[in-house]
Amino acid sequence: MIHESTTAAPLDLSARYTAAKCIAQEAANRGMDYYRRREELTVLNKSEDATDVVSVADRDLEDFIRQALTTLFPEDGLLGEERGSEGLDAQCVWVIDPIDGTACFVNGLHNWCVSIGLLVDGEPALGVIADPNHHELFHALKGQGAFVNDSPLKPHKATHVREGLVGVGTTHRPGKAHFLPFLTKLLEEGGMFFRSGSGALMTAYVAAGRLLGYHETRLYAWDCLAGIVMLNEVGGRTNDFLRGNALLEGGPFLAACPGVYEQLEAMTGNWIHEDA
Q: Which strands form 165-169's sheet, in the order they lie side by side?
A: 192-194, 165-169, 213-219, 251-256, 237-238
Number of neighbours of residue 172 by Cβ within 10 angstroms: 13
Instruction: Give backbone dihedrals phi and psi of 90, rounded to 5 degrees, phi first.
Output: -70, 160
Is 168:182 a contact under the CB 8 Å cutoff?
yes
100 is in an annotated binding site: yes
Is 100:200 a contact under the CB 8 Å cutoff?
yes
Gyration radius from the chain CA atoms: 18
Looking at residue 190, the DSSP 8-state letter turns out to be: T
| Phi-psi region at 263: left, alpha or beta (left = phi > 0; alpha = psi -120 to 50) | alpha
CA atoms within 13 A on the CB side of 23: 31
131 is in an annotated binding site: no
Instruction: Report d(CA 257, CA 209) in Å as an integer.
Output: 8
97 is in an annotated binding site: yes
H helix intervals, 136-259: 179-188, 199-207, 221-234, 246-249
Q: Which residues are documented as binding site for Mg(2+)?
A: 81, 97, 99-100, 223
Q: Which residues are documented as binding site?
A: 81, 97, 99-100, 223
